[in-house]
Structure formats: structure tokens, C-alpha cells
A and B are shown apart, each in its own frame.
Chain A
């Protein structure tokens, strides 16, 4: 994912995430799902909401959730109390 995620494209972002999650393993369990946001230069609360929803879905599938952040995405996630997603 690259670019900026704000209220304009948050829904699209969420759809993309969910699709990626489901397509990674249609029937079997996936051990871990990593979202690469190193190229994202802005992540607003709407984008975070999308991530949270996707994370919920992943958790429901028993998949571990991880995010690779850019500098600003890291700040945003920590501000939202979701810093643990970025830890190895």
C-alpha cells in the first residue's frame, strides 16, 4: 500500500485489506498476515478504523496480525494505542 489513507479512500482501503486477507488462504489457516505500509505517507483515523476491522477479521481466523509502518504510520498507530502491531 502506498500513498495516503484518509476519509476519502478509507473504505476502499478496508476492502482491499479484507480481500487480501481472505485470498491469502481461502481454506487453510494463515499463520501471520503482514500489512506493508512503509510507503504510506499519511494514515488518518478512518484508515486506522479500516485496519482495526481487518484485524478483527484476522483475529477471528486465528491469524497473527502485523504492520510494517513508515515513520508517520508508526506515530499514528502508537497514538491510537496500536503500537503493538508494529513490534516484531
Chain B
């Protein structure tokens, strides 16, 4: 390129390649820049630099910012705009991004400072469409004469990098999230979240599940809920191809199905989308597909599709992994199940093996013993052989099964902290007799260890016994030594023998299964070779080791070392429980060992470890029977124990004194005692037993030698139940013991049932009954809970479906058994009511299958079994059941059911008795109710009365009250309490009541006078002595007057303050004392309440009367602002103690007319003329107490009620009394009550005229609540409104027009 040429611009332009030529070809003269020759030096220099640079640059110069660029720029960025752009104003060239770059250029020209932008997003239209691009560029000024005239831009396009980074970020986040998703749903959630955030490259995505017929299911989508767009419409045609595994590129429709397409991160929806099948690596149809819309501002090319594909593959891989995970998990679960089944099988099989073996070993032993007794030596020999081999078989089976069990990792090993010294010593000692009889010395040096060793006791037993039996087997002469000590932090058991030894080459393999020493001279050649392998396994299981040192013909030493502590053991196998017995196993070993010594004549009778066996403490075991054996001869003791222990629990003592102390401490069901014993003999023992009353029923069987009839007789006379002659046969012994046990049980049961019957006779309620029954059941049956279920006992009410349940022990309301159930519900106590037969549930599985509803409750209570028997009346009707529940470990047997059935019969009788008593009670109560029907006709006050019979008493009481109309303006109220209960008291009560009424209305109504008259009368009335009586008059001017004979004082409630009307105490009636005390007179305020009551209200056992009065006063003040009826009810409720009133309670209250600060009471005759005045008074009272709106509501509502009371309420009573009470409580609630003597009817009910029903509807619309209480003594309508909040009148009321 020639730089120096004068007309040189042209020159160098022409030499600058195609772009130079094109630049030169622009008609410059038509531009403000003029011909190139006129261009300033800066411009041409810059041009030169730019055109020769291979970095992408463009520049603008001059007033129009005329555009120039170089080849690199043209290729990279200018695109289709070349060559048009050259020479044009820059603003035109980059019109689409001028808002972005214009200001920058402008600032360069203005300030002369360069700009810098890194990866700026610009939407260029260089290829005919709006394109998302990224550029890093700098604009720098070009100066001419020191002033910026143009601008040079150096630019690098970063689009690929930026997009690549963005896509990478998407993929990275997606794969991170997907990696953490281990289930399909988590995968889909991750997809949703990630793709919703990365919504520029793929503005929307969705995952579909393709189905054979019908629409695909949308599994996940990335757009939010405010776009409801469903692509399924426009992708439907392509789904089949997708299912075949084809990738499909789609156009996104516009309008119609394409309306509301999600925009993702842009301002317009994608034009194209791609549907990618999600292959999961299996053959066949693809079931999932991934739909993604592509960035509308990027070309829809392989890059775009490729990215969508990448995303799809990540998702497919994640779904595949999730599914594999799932399958793996299922497989694992299946394996675990299989393992469980296998283990169960092993457990069952071992049981199967052992049972027949036990049944061989046991009877054979007995046969042998029996034969020994008879001295049948040849037969004995045969039998001994059988026995020995059965023992051997047993041992082999045990070893085999244990080994298999260990192998199958049943590992039910439960490691406990054991006193290993004691355990090992006892186990070793069990071998002593066998070893010594074999002519060997046996040394046991096993001291107590100072620390516990964690081991499974059963497994350790196997270790010791196997090692010892091996030692015995392989040692023909010499000694066997057992030592145990702590060494180097381990517990080491060492068994040394002087036996045949093991050759060195075999010493390692001796612990292998099925290895048998070839060179062995042993006592026997049997043996499966399992023993040492088992020991080795067990040692390993405990984290320990086994080793052997041996010299042939000298001897061997086996050592088992267990580490101390428990850290090396699996935590879930730790057990802190107590040792279990291992009696049967040891016996097998010993028998075998003994059999090896052929020189012994008689089979050894070692002291079996189970003499003095630990008895289980479960009460249910009592049913099997516990026999105490008193015998000083050890062999005899052992023999008897062996004979009896299969069937009974055996307790042995060696002398009579010990026997007596055991009897006092432990539950024993039968005593089997020898006669001849040192110290106390059998006779004395019997005598002492019989001397104690509790043991009077204890069966005692004596063992006597053949000493003559007199001895037996003597024994029987002393009180023994039976005797056995020695020597006796095993079955004789068993039979005798069983019979005597049963008889003893029978005797005991009979006695207990009789006692129960006696108790039940005195009982008065089912709750009490169940307590006695449970005492019996707990004692005789070992019951943990007793439940009595009864249908409604009274005949007065209609039969309903509720069954009441009474439990002993008492149940907590939240967690215990329910106290009512419906008949027919699926509970075991209810079933007998339906079937008429007993229901027996033997265990929780049984329960779960038949009564799943009850399972939770029984489990929570720890119960496992139950028997429920029906209670059948004489009529054959079943209306109850008696249920006994047991805790775990007991299986109810035939005997239990029989006993329970007997008890049920007794219970039914008692219930019948209760039923009759209840009927009587009802009669009395209704009689009393009739008697206490009060009427009053004078509009002197508003009266309310309540009678409450005492709970749980079957007889009616003698409380009564009466209201006497004395005149138009005065009223008499009396209250009394006749002494005693029942019909006699009722009679006295009736007569006294009449007497008061007569006295009050005929002579004077001065209370003291009335009382004197009645007293005189009562003097001649039998049964009235001690009756109390109170009489109160209410006169005009709200004056009250009171006199009483021994009756508690009335309560006065005036303007919210309660007090007792004090007066001089007077004695009750019939005392024949003179009564000089005058009446107490008092003026009370308007709207006051006077309450008369009987002492049952305020008296409580164990509490002073003062406390009761205080409670009454407090309660009265609490409920002061209520209509008098509600007032009485609430006060009664407050004063009722938890179990109900223990004595009858009568309450009679009157609200006097008038007004106080918060109450208004009006009483008037029910004639229409009075209604107006009532309203006026009410209006006046309301005006001072609430706002106008509330007052209107109350006035209108009460007005309606009053209107109605007058109209309807007095239909039955021409001259009835209507009472109105209005109270305001401190919360601002107004309670109004209108009472009358008739039946309040809905107007519409009577005449069928809809107009008439309006009143009630209006009241309901005006007031918050409207309650109508219709009783036999009249109706009361109670209205409430909370002021000042007045709710808008309800819309539900339809206008009637």
C-alpha cells in the first residue's frame, strides 16, 4: 500500500482490498465529507490504520457520523448491510441499536473520553431479523484540531461465548439439581425450577408422557401459572413420531392455538420449537418427550436444536437413573422380605425338630425311671440306649440348626452384660458328675470376674458345653481343667485336657465345619464335627477369637477370648434383660456325656439345674398350677420335680419351716410334702397350714411310706386332702396332683363367686358393680381389666342404640376405653349383644382381624386377650356383656370362660334388681313431679322452680316447694324438707304442703303465724318430726317476709349483690317448742331475686356449711343478670359437685317486679290492655341504658314476645300471668325473657295464615338469639342481643307480601 501518494487516499483505498475499493466507490462528493482528497489528515490516517488492521473496527466521521469499516468488521458484524452502509450516516446504518450506541457515541464526541462495554447485549438486524448479540467494544474519539470530529470503534463479537456460557450455566445447574433428585417426581420438579429460571435459550419447556390412546400427560412445565397455554393442541400431530423416537422441529403457531404462548425471558414468543423424545435406553416405544420453544432472537439452527437436545438428554438420563433407583429400592425390599421369610422358616423348622425330640427324651426318661423302680434291668439297657441316642440326635439337631441360623445371619444374638464367672462356673459344674464318673479329675477355677462381659447367654452356653463335651470325648484318662480369667483386656476361657491331642497339621482345620480328627481315639465315634466350628463362629460373632494348642497324646488346650466392653458389638443387638434358663439344652449334653462312659451301671442322675427353677412372674401362670415340694431327700426332690415340671410350675424346699415361709410369700396352689422330715414333720406342717385362714383352701398332699393305715388317717384328720404311697409311679403322682389342684381351684372359685354375689346384692349402680366384679376377676382369673357393657337400663325411655360401658380400672376420658358405643359397632364387648354367644379373642392378631377398630386401644393398654360373655335376661334378651381383658402372655382357656359365664349369671341377677329399683324410683319421681306442680295467678313476680333428685339414690326424697297465690298483689312461697326417703316421706311431704297452703290462705299470711299453725298440725303427723320448713311472702311494695323452722336462709340478690337473709334460727317441726320468734321482714329493691332452696344444695361431705353458703353467694352474683329461670339453672350447675348431688335439691326463686341498674322485671295479667303499659315501661328503662337503635330492637322484639304471650300463651289459662325480665350484663349483652303459662306456638302452625308467623321471624331478625323453651309449666322465650354492635338485619328473612 502506498501511503505517500498525494491523490493518495484514492490510492490507498484502491489498494486496500475489496473494502477499500468499495469505500472508494462511494460518491463522496454527495456527502458532507466531500471528495476524499479533501479529507483531513486525521481522517485518512485513521482510515488507513483501520483498513489495515485485522481487528474488527468501524469509524464514524463528520457531522453525519459517516460510516466506515474494515474487512474484519464487515465479515463479523455488518452482514447484509454491506456495502450499502459505507458512507451512510451511522445512525442509519445501526438504526436498530441507535438508542443503545447513540448516547455512547455522543458522549465520546462531547467529552472526548472513550467508552468501554463488555459483552453488551444488542439486538442487531444484520441478517434480516432481530438477533440477540453480544459485543465487547470501545468507542474512542478521533480529534481534528484538538476537537473530536469522529469516533473509532474497536469491537469484538462475543455472542458465541456469551450464549455458550449461558447454555453451560443452564446445563450445569440442571445437572446439579438432577443429580440430587432420586425419584421421578423430584426430577420433574428440578426440571421445572431450573428451566423456569433459564428461560432465554429455551423460553418454555415441558415434559410429556406419551400415551397409546388419547392425550399426553403433562408431567412438568417451565412456565408459570399465569399463562394457561397448553401446547398439546399444536403438538398433537407430531406425538406419534415422537413416540417412535423421532426428533421433530415445529413451528409455533400464531393466534388460535398459539395465542398466549409463554414468552419466557423475552418479549415475544418463540417461532420454533423442538420435540425431543426422552429415550431411557430401553427398546420399544418412547414414553416421554421433551418440548422446548427456542429463542426467537437466535436463528433456529443446529446449535439451537442441539442445545434443546442436550437438555433433553440430561432429563432423560436423570429419569432413567431415578427409575433405576426406584427399582433398586424395590429389589432391596423384596430381598429383605425374602430374608425375613427365610429366617421365619428356620425358626419354625427348628421348633419342628425339637418338639418330637423333646417328646422322645421326656417320656423315655420317665420310662427308664419307672423301670429302675421295678428293677427291670434288661429292659433298662434298651431304654438307656434309646435315651442316649435321642440325646445325641437332639444335640446334633441343635448344633445344626444353630449353625444354620448363624449362617443365615439370623443373628438373634442379644448381647447382655453377664457375670461370666458365675455363668461359666455353673455351666461347667453341670458337667462335673459326668466327668467324674468317667474317672477323670475335674478342676474348675473360674472366679467371679470384676467386670461384666457382654455376650449372648445362650450362645456362651453353647461354647462352654461344646468345649467341655469335646474335652470329655477325647480324654480317656487324666484330668480336665476349666479356667477363666481376664487377660490383656479380654475375658479368656481355657479348657485343658490330658486327652489324645490334635496333630499339628490338623490344628487349624479343627475349627472347620464337618472336620473330624482322623487320628482320634475317642470315647465315641459319633459326632457330626460341627461343635468346634460352631464355637468358632460364636466367638467371632462376639468379636472374639478361639485358639488351640495341642500335643498328640499329651493333651490340648482350647482358649476362647472375648473382648471386654460393648463397643465392638452391634448396637441393635444389645439387650439388658435378665438371663434366660437353658435347662433343656444342658440336660441333653449331660446325658450324652454320661453315656460315653460305658462302665457306669446306672445312668447318672445329675442335679438338673432346674431344681428350684425361677418361676415366671406372670400371673397367668397360676392357671397351670404352682406346686411346692417339701422333701428333705435331694434325689427325691429332683425326681418329683422332673415328673411334675412338664405340667406344673415346681417350687422345692428341703424342710417344713422353709415351706411355711415360702407359703407366706409366694402364691402356691398345692403343697406336696413328705411325712418324715427332720425338724418339723409333715403332720405339723399340715396343722400349721390349716391354722391359717387364708390357706384353709390350700390343697395338701402327703407322701407316706408304707407305715400303715393309721398314718394316713392321721394325716387326713389333720387336714390333708390326699396322700400318696411311696414308691409311687410318675403318672400316679401327676394325676393326684392335677386332681387336687383342680379341686382346690374349684373350691376357691366357688368361694369367690359366693363372695361376689354378696357384694353385688348391696350394689346400687353399674359403676359400683364393675368394681366388685373386677376384684374377683383379677384374683380368680388374673384379669387386668373388666368391662361391663349395658344397654339403657331404664324402661321409661325409648330404646336407643347406645350401650354404656363401665370399666374397672377407671378409664381416662382421652386415652381410655370409650364409655359409650353404638350397638352393632365392631368392638369385642359389643359382639355378644348381637350373637348371644361369648366372644373370645386370643391375641392381638386375632383382634386385628376381627375388631380392627379396637386394636389401637387394646394395644395402647397393653392387653392381648379377652373373653366377653353375654348377659342374658330371663326373657332371653341379651342387653349387656361382661368382658375380662388380660395382659400379654395369657391365653384364655375353657375354665376361664366357664367361670366367667357363672359370674355373668350373677351379674344379670343383680342388674335385674337394679332395674326394678329404677322403675320404682321413676314412679316416685313422677309422683313427686306431680306433687310439685306449681301454679300461680297473681302478677306479683316471676317464679322459677327446679327439683333435682340425688344421683345414685334409688328412693325419692322428701324435698318440696309450693307457690300460693294470696291475693292480687301478694304471693306465698314455701320450701320444705321432710325427713327420710321413699313413700313414707312423700306422704308427709304432701300433707305438710297442703297444711301450709291451707294455713296461708285461711288464717293469716304472716309467715311466723303460718309456721305455728303448721307446727301444731305436724305434732300429730307421724313421720314429720324433724322436717324443716321455710315460708316467705312477697307483698306489695316489694316487701318480703320470712320465717323458717330449721330451714336454711333464703338468698337475696339485689342489683347484682347477693346475701343471705339472716334471721334467728328456729328448730325444725315437731319439736313441740313454742315459736315466739317473729317473721323477718325486709324491703328489697325492685327486680330483686329471692331464692329458696333445700340443704342438699349447699351441703357437701367434708365441708362446712359456711363454705357451701359462700359458694352459693358467689354463684348467684355471677349469674345475676339472667332471667330467673336461667339463673336457677346456672346456680344449680355451679353448685353441683363432680359426682352429682348426694342429696335431693329443691330450688324455688321469684323475681320481684321493678327495676335496678341493670335489671327490669314486670309481671302482669295477660290481657291485651296491659301490653301498652309494659312497652312504655320497657321503653323508659331502655332509654337510659342503651342507644336508640338497640332500644328499638329490644322493644320491638320483646313487644312481639309479649304480644304473643298474651294472645296465645293464655289460651289454656284465661287469667294467666305473663312475666317479662330484661337484664344487661357487664359485657353489654341484653338478655330478655318472657314467660307465660301456656304453649307458645308459631302463629303459622295454628292458623296456616302466613301473616301470623311473622312475629317469630321478626324477633329472629332483630335479636342475636331467640330460644323458646316449652315446658309443662309454661313457656319461656329468651332473646339476646349484644349491644352496641347491632348486626344488619338478616337477608334470609323473605318479605311476605
Contacts and interface: CB of A to CB of B under 8 A. Distances in A.
Interface string B1201-1215: 001001100000000
Nearest to A46: B1203
B581 to A, nearest CB: 86
Interface stretch (B69-77, B730-738, B1288-1296): B1288-1296
Interface stretch (A16-24, A28-36, A49-57): A49-57
A79 interface: yes
B1172 A82 contact: no
Contact of B1203 (A7, A41, A72): A7
B972 interface: no
B162 interface: no
B1168 interface: yes
B1104 interface: no
B1178 to A, nearest CB: 10
Interface stretch (B384-392, B563-571, B638-646, B1185-1193): B1185-1193
Scoring A43, A45, A48, A75 by chain B CB atoms within 10 A of each residue's CB, the highest score goes to: A45
A8 interface: yes
Contacts of A41: 1179
A48 B1200 CA distance: 11
B337 interface: no
A42 B1175 contact: yes
A66 B479 CA distance: 128
B1060 interface: no
Contacts of B702: none
A7 B1168 contact: yes
B1254 A6 contact: no
Contact of A44 (B1193, B1199, B1295): B1199
B1196 A79 contact: yes
B1168 A44 contact: no
Contacts of B1188: 71
B73 to A, nearest CB: 80
A4 B1175 contact: yes
Nearest to A83: B1289
Interface in B604-658: none
B1251 interface: yes
B1199 A79 contact: no
A6 B803 CA distance: 53
The size class of the interface chain A forms with chain B is 20 to 34
Interface string A61-88: 0000000000110011011111110000
Contact of A45 (B1172, B1206, B1254, B1297): B1254
Contact of A75 (B1203, B1251, B1262): B1262
B904 to A, nearest CB: 62
Contacts of A44: 1196, 1199-1200, 1203, 1255
B1264 to A, nearest CB: 13
Contact of B1294 (A42, A75, A79, A81): A81
Contacts of A42: 1175, 1195-1196, 1199
B1168 A80 contact: no
Contacts of A56: 1297
A43 B1289 CA distance: 16
Chain A interface mostly: helix
Contact of A80 (B1192, B1207, B1252, B1257): B1257
A84 B1171 CA distance: 29
A76 B1297 contact: no
Interface string B1250-1284: 01101101100110000000000000000000000
Contacts of B1258: 45, 48, 76, 79-80
Interface string B1157-1190: 0000000000011011001000100000000110
Nearest to A81: B1295
A7 B1199 CA distance: 10
A26 to B, nearest CB: 25
B1251 to A, nearest CB: 4
B1297 A55 contact: yes
Contacts of B1203: 6-7, 44-46
Given A44-B1196, A49-B1254, A72-B1192, A6 B1294 contact: no
B505 to A, nearest CB: 113
Interface string B968-984: 00000000000000000
Interface in B1080-1108: none
A79 B1289 CA distance: 6
Contact of B1196 (A8, A75, A81, A84): A75
Contacts of B1199: 6, 42, 44
A72 B1168 CA distance: 21
B1171 A7 contact: yes
A80 B1171 contact: no
B1195 A45 contact: no
A60 to B, nearest CB: 12
A79 B1169 contact: no
A46 B545 CA distance: 106
A4 B1296 contact: no
Contact of B1296 (A52, A75, A78): A52
Given A44-B1200, A55-B1297, A71 B1192 contact: yes
Contacts of A46: 1203
B1196 A76 contact: yes
A44 B1252 CA distance: 12
Contacts of A6: 1171-1172, 1175, 1199, 1203
A8 B1207 CA distance: 10
Contacts of A81: 1261, 1289, 1293-1296
Of B1172, B1196, B1203, B1262, the most chain A CB neighbours within 10 A belong to B1196
A52 B1171 CA distance: 23
A8 B1172 contact: yes
B971 to A, nearest CB: 28
A53 B1254 CA distance: 13
A4 B1202 CA distance: 15
Interface string B927-962: 000000000000000000000000000000000000
Interface in B442-493: none
Contacts of B1171: 6-8
Nearest to A80: B1258
Contacts of A79: 1193, 1196, 1258, 1261-1262, 1289, 1293
A43 B1172 CA distance: 12
Nearest to B1168: A8
Nearest to B1207: A7
B1200 A80 contact: no
A48 B1254 contact: yes
A42 B1255 CA distance: 14
Contacts of B1196: 42-44, 72, 75-76, 79
Contacts of A75: 1189, 1192-1193, 1196, 1262
B1172 A78 contact: no
B1099 to A, nearest CB: 48
A72 B1251 CA distance: 20
Which of B1192, B1252, B1255, B1296: most chain A Cβ within 10 A?
B1192
Interface of A: 4, 6-8, 41-46, 48-49, 52-53, 55-56, 71-72, 75-76, 78-84
Interface of B: 1168-1169, 1171-1172, 1175, 1179, 1188-1189, 1192-1193, 1195-1196, 1199-1200, 1203, 1206-1207, 1251-1252, 1254-1255, 1257-1258, 1261-1262, 1289, 1293-1297
Which 10 A-B pairs rank lowest in CB-CB distance, beginning with the nearest?
A81-B1295, A45-B1255, A79-B1261, A75-B1192, A72-B1192, A49-B1251, A45-B1254, A81-B1293, A78-B1289, A79-B1258
Given A44-B1199, A45-B1254, A48-B1258, 8 more contacts: A4-B1175, A7-B1171, A44-B1196, A44-B1200, A46-B1203, A71-B1189, A79-B1258, A79-B1262
17 contacts: A4-B1172, A7-B1171, A7-B1207, A45-B1254, A48-B1258, A49-B1254, A52-B1297, A71-B1188, A72-B1192, A75-B1192, A75-B1193, A76-B1192, A76-B1258, A79-B1193, A80-B1254, A80-B1296, A82-B1297
